[in-house]
Amino acid sequence: MYKTFNVKKTISGKLPFGEDILESLKKVAKSENIRVANIHILGAVRNATIGFYNQSMKEYTSLKFYEPMEIVSSLGNVSIKSDDIFIHLHVTLSDKEGKALGGHLMSPTEIFACEFTIQELEGDALVRKYDERTGLYLWDL
């Protein structure tokens, strides 16, 4: 199951120092009235929270890192969940020794420096609906 989209517009910018990545991206999406998009970010964080989804328990386990880290790569999207903008990002971070780790980006994750690109897509929003089999809110296609 899938939908086809064309790119409507591309927005690039930087997120504010000290703010939470997910909340900052949500503010941008709301101010630009974006309801369906792809997101790419890079930069650095002062601290981070990432999650791992336990498939058998159907719940996230979060890991918190209280140290500066580089955002090596991060991909995600904008969709709608419970009638609100939802930012879904996965991230790969590296520590001062270059060791990489990754997972589902969660709050709080505090920005040191973060550049973003949001590609808004033409068409109806992708809406998330609870999926009984996985325990996740997935796109309702």
Chain segment 104-123, per-residue pLDDT in tens: 999 999 999 999 999 999 99
Query: Do the domain assignments include residue 6?
Result: no
Q: Does 4 reside within a domain?
A: no
Take residue 81 and report the two structure tokens written for it: 């969940």
For range 78-101, the mean pLDDT: 98
Half-sphere exposure of 74 (CA within 13 A, CB side): 30
Give CA–CA dist 126/140, Å, rounded: 7
Counting the structural domains of the chain, the total is 1
Residues 6+ apart with CB under 8 A from 18: 46, 110, 111
> Where residue 128 sits, what CATH number does that domain have?
3.30.1330.80
120 in a domain, yes or no?
Answer: yes
pTM of the model: 0.96
In angstroms, the CA 17 to CA 31 distance is 19
Range of the domain at 118: 12-139
